[in-house]
Structures are given as structure tokens and as C-alpha cells.
């Protein structure tokens, strides 16, 4: 037994270490995946910033072309809202820039005077009166959010455009804390890298809850890892519980078999000795001795039958096919029948039964045989654990929609820790130095099962040395 216990502990320790190792590995893998995802986000943000710079450069080129008065002529269009549309459509920008490049290339190759004038306008440093005229905040916002949305970034992001001396030019927030975070943000770029005089104007981007955004992109893997981990831990806990339960059941069954063997062996041995005595002419010649041996055989046979009946009752309850044959019966008659069945045991112990059957609505629906067995078991249990002369009080009373039956004894009592366990199959209350109490631990388990099949309840109230009271509540019969 000790070797088996050590083996179970060894399995638990090894499995626990393996689970901790697996959990640590998953945590490390998730942390690595998160770091890698943050690096990817940083690269994607930088690519988006480069794309924004490129778009602004194209947008600015088209705007200069439009200001020169030559854009509509080049495109063969007259649209006063063209610049507004260009800030909304980056694909249109690409198309127009291609046309401008083609126009410039063709004109320069032919040394066209209009092309030279157009190039001069595009290269003019003082073409715009102020920065707002060069790039409005609304145009900048449109390009920023349109670019990031195309690259699958969240709509909620903060931006700020800082001048050459660090002064704020544009921003979509006035929160001082956010502005401070924007100023030190790692996501930044020069907005006009090719403009010598404005090369220090920088665009800063801040993605709120960047870690949450990174986690969202790997949430499927995180969820699966968590689910699998929970399944493994749950399975481990379940298996360990089953192992300990099986071990406990194994111990209880071994005790049950040993106890049953002893219980059955005693009456069989007694009957065998009585039979041998009857065959002995010297011993059986006396009528008094003969009747004594016959009575002994009869009593031991009844005892043997009761032991077998207890085991059969328990086996019957566990069968799913067990059916309750309900009929209208009188509860008080059942109790009196149960007392009659236990009269011999009561008389042998000089016991006293006090009846106080006060219930008026005594009709119930149930199985007569099983309910008689229930009360017989409870009375027998009270007799077993009573101290000295058994004094048993049996009472009934009416309750709403039912009847309560109380069976109280003057026995050794039950510790509070065992109040629930006494109804478990094969459980026997430890009796210390008392070894005269016989049984298999099946009676109360059978009682509870039958009571529950009648939609009733049973509980015990007890203290060590003050006896026990078993309280049964059954439903009253419906009116006919």
C-alpha cells in the first residue's frame, strides 16, 4: 500500500512539473510572439509613414501644378474642386502624377518653353504664402487616416506635426499628456525630407493601447493556447481525482469484503455447530437441548437472511431498472409494520420505543415494501448505536404539502464531519474502541436512495454522546 501511495505521489509530481514546464513554454512563446508582432507593427507603421510622405509629396506637386494654371490644360479638364478630390483619392493622385511626369518628359525632350515654365513653378520655394496654404490640417488628416486604414490599423490613433523648433503645428488632440507622449513617440518621420528649409518638420504618430492592438492580431493563437491549457489542467485534475476516488473505493471495498466475510462466517459456523450437536445422541437426547439448538439455528438463519437482504437491497437500488410501485398507503401503518419487523431485536436489547404519531394527513404515495425497509433500517440503526438500554422516540407531524418523520435514539452520536458522509455507500462511522457494532455501511445509503426516489429528503442531527435524530420528509398524497 505504501509503495502504491509513493507511486501515485511520484506520478502527480512528475505531471505537475510537466504542466509547469508546458505553461512556462507557452508563456515564453506568447511573449516572443508578442514581441515579434510589435516589431512587425513598428515596421508597418514606418512603411505607412513613408507612404504618407510620398502621398504628400505627390499631393503637393499636383497642387503646385494646379496653382500654375497649367494642370487643367495638361489633363484636359476644368474642375475647380480637383484638389479637394485629390486629397480624398490616392489612386487619382497616382494617375495624375503619371500624366505630369509624361508631360514633363515629353516637353523637356522637345525643349518646350511651357514645360520649362512649369518646372520652374514646381521648383519655386516661395510658391505658397504660408504653411496652411501649402498643406492644410484637413488634407493631412485625410491622407494619414486613409493610409493607416488601408494598412489595417485602428481608426483611433493620434498624430502631431511639430515644427523645426519643436513647436506644435497640427494635432488631432489637445490633451497635454497625449501631446507629451506624441513628442517622444518612436513612430515619427520627416514630412518634407527633400525640402532643405523645412526638413526638420516631423510627423509623429501614437497608437493608443499598442499592446492590446498587438494582442488582437494574435488572439486566435492566444485563445487556443489558453483553451488547450485549461483542457490539460482539467484532465490532470480529473484523473488525479479519479485515482484517489478509486483508491478510496478500493480500500472501502476491501473493508466491506472482510467485514462481510466475517459477518457471514459467524452465523454459518453457529448453524454448523448446532447441526453437529443435534446429530450427537448424547447432546440431543434432552428435549430442552434439542429445542435450544433448533432455536439457535432459526435465529442465525434469520440473521443470515437479514445480512443477505441488506446486500441485495443495495444492489437493487443501483440498478437503473428499479421502479417504484406507487400505491396509496398509510404512513403510520408502515411505521408499525417496521416496528413489528424489529420487535425481536428490540426485545433482545430490552429496548423502549416511544411513539408520538401526531400527523393527521397520513396518506402517502409510494412503494410499500421499500418504505417498510427504510424505516426498519432506521430503527435497526438506532438499536445498533444505542448505549445500554436503547430508548427510541418515533414521531410524525404535518408540514405544508407533506409529513415529517423523526427517529431519535440515545446512541453514541455522530460527529458533525460525518453528517453527510453517513449516507455514502459502504461508509461506516468510526466507533473507536467499540467493535461490537456490525454492518456493511449499506443501510443508510439504501435509505437515502429510496427516500429520494419518493421525492423526499432525509438528514441527520446529532452530537457525540447525545444520540442522533434522523429526519425524513415525504410528500403527502394528492387528493383523489
Is 258 a residue whose pLDDT tops 80?
A: no
Average pLDDT for 20-27: 84
Q: Domain residue spans in the chain?
A: 2-217, 246-316, 323-475
Query: pLDDT tens for residues 405-452?
Result: 999 988 888 888 777 778 776 666 655 444 444 554 566 777 888 888
Whether the domain at 246-316 and the domain at 323-475 fall into the same CATH topology: no
Is 76 a residue whose pLDDT tops 70?
A: no
Domain spanning 246-316 has what CATH number?
1.10.287.130
Query: pLDDT tens for residues 121-167?
Result: 555 544 555 777 778 888 888 888 888 888 878 667 889 988 888 88
Distance CA(307)–CA(327), nearest Å, equals: 28
Q: How far is CA 242 from CA 20, 407, 418, in A?
A: 21, 36, 22
Query: Does the pTM of the predicted model rise above 0.75?
Result: no
User: C-alpha angle with apex 231: 225 to 237, nearest 5 degrees?
Assistant: 135
Average pLDDT for 294-318: 69
Q: How far is CA 167 from CA 30, 144, 174, 197, in A?
A: 40, 20, 14, 16
Architecture of domain 323-475: 2-Layer Sandwich (3.30)
Most confident region among 118-132, 307-321, 386-400 by mean pLDDT: 386-400
Distance CA(386)–CA(225), nearest Å, equals: 59
pLDDT given for residue 29 in this prediction = 83
pLDDT given for residue 167 in this prediction = 87
CB 122 within 8 A of CB 64: yes
The full DSSP string for 304-322 is: HHHHHHHHHHHHHHH-TT-
pLDDT given for residue 403 in this prediction = 92
pLDDT given for residue 437 in this prediction = 47
Q: Bigger pLDDT: 5 or 218? A: 218
Distance CA(162)–CA(381), nearest Å, equals: 90
Distance CA(416)–CA(431), nearest Å, equals: 14
Q: Bigger pLDDT: 323 or 353? A: 353
pLDDT given for residue 125 in this prediction = 46
Average pLDDT for 39-59: 84
Average pLDDT for 339-350: 78
**Cell numbers linked to 19:** 504542466
pLDDT given for residue 121 in this prediction = 53
- Beta-bridge partner residues of 328: 365
Three-class secondary structure of residue 411 per DSSP: strand
Q: What percent of the chain has pLDDT over 90?
A: 4
Is 392 a residue whose pLDDT tops 70?
A: yes
Q: In the structure, what pLDDT confidence band is assigned to residue 196 with cuts at 50, 70 and 90?
A: low
93: DSSP letter: H
pLDDT given for residue 405 in this prediction = 92
Q: Which of 460, 455, 466, 472 is nearest to 338 (CA)?
A: 472
Average pLDDT for 257-281: 74
pLDDT given for residue 473 in this prediction = 92
Least confident segment among 84-98, 285-299, 433-447:
84-98
Least confident segment among 31-35, 211-215, 388-392:
211-215
Amino acid at each position: 500500500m505504501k509503495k502504491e501511495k509513493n507511486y501515485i505521489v511520484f506520478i502527480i509530481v512528475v505531471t505537475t512539473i510537466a504542466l509547469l514546464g508546458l505553461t512556462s513554454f507557452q508563456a515564453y512563446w506568447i511573449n516572443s510572439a508578442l514581441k515579434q508582432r510589435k516589431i512587425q507593427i513598428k515596421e508597418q507603421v514606418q512603411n505607412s509613414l513613408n507612404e504618407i510622405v510620398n502621398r504628400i509629396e505627390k499631393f503637393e506637386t499636383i497642387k503646385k501644378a494646379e496653382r500654375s494654371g497649367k494642370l487643367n490644360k495638361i489633363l484636359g479638364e476644368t474642375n475647380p474642386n480637383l484638389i479637394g478630390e485629390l486629397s480624398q483619392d490616392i489612386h487619382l493622385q497616382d494617375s495624375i502624377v503619371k500624366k505630369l511626369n509624361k508631360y514633363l518628359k515629353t516637353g523637356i525632350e522637345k525643349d518646350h518653353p511651357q514645360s520649362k515654365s512649369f518646372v520652374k513653378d514646381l521648383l519655386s520655394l516661395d510658391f505658397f504664402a504660408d504653411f496652411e496654404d501649402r498643406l492644410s490640417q484637413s488634407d493631412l488628416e485625410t491622407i494619414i487616416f486613409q493610409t493607416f486604414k488601408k494598412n489595417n490599423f485602428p481608426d483611433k490613433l493620434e498624430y502631431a506635426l511639430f515644427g523645426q523648433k519643436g513647436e506644435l503645428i497640427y494635432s488631432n488632440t489637445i490633451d497635454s499628456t497625449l501631446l507629451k507622449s506624441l513628442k517622444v513617440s518612436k513612430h515619427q518621420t520627416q514630412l518634407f525630407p527633400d525640402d532643405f528649409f523645412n526638413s526638420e518638420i516631423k510627423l509623429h504618430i501614437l497608437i493608443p493601447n499598442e499592446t492590446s492592438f498587438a494582442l488582437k492580431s494574435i488572439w486566435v493563437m492566444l485563445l487556443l493556447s489558453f483553451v488547450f491549457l485549461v483542457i490539460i489542467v482539467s484532465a490532470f485534475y480529473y484523473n488525479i481525482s479519479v485515482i484517489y476516488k478509486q483508491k478510496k473505493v478500493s480500500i472501502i471495498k476491501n473493508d466491506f469484503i472482510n467485514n462481510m466475510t466475517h459477518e457471514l462466517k459467524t452465523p454459518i459456523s453457529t448453524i454448523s455447530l448446532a447441526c453437529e450437536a443435534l446429530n450427537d445422541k448424547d447432546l440431543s437426547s434432552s428435549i430442552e437441548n434439542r429445542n435450544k439448538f433448533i432455536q439457535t439455528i432459526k435465529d442465525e438463519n434469520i440473521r443470515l437472511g437479514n445480512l443477505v437482504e441488506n446486500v441485495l437491497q443495495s444492489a437493487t437500488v443501483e440498478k437503473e431498472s428499479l421502479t417504484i410501485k406507487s400505491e396509496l398507503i398509510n404512513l403510520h401503518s408502515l411505521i408499525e409494520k417496521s416496528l413489528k419487523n424489529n420487535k425481536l431485536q428490540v426485545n433482545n436489547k430490552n429496548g423502549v420505543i416511544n411513539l408520538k404519531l401526531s400527523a393527521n394527513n397520513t396518506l402517502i404515495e409510494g412503494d410499500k415494501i421499500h418504505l417498510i425497509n427504510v424505516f426498519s433500517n432506521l430503527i435497526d440503526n438506532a438499536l445498533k448505536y444505542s448505549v445500554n438500554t436503547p430508548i427510541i422516540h418515533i414521531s410524525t407531524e404535518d408540514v405544508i404539502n407533506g409529513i415529517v418523520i423523526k427517529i431519535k435514539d440515545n446512541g453514541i452520536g455522530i460527529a458533525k464531519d460525518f453528517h453527510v458522509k453517513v449516507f455514502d455507500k459502504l461508509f461506516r462511522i468510526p466507533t473507536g474502541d467499540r467493535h461490537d457494532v456490525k454492518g456493511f455501511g449499506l443501510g443508510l445509503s439504501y435509505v437515502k436512495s429510496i427516500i429520494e426516489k419518493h421525492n423526499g429528503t432525509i438528514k441527520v442531527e446529532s452530537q457525540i454522546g447525545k444520540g442522533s435524530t434522523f429526519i425524513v420528509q415525504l410528500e403527502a398524497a394528492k387528493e383523489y
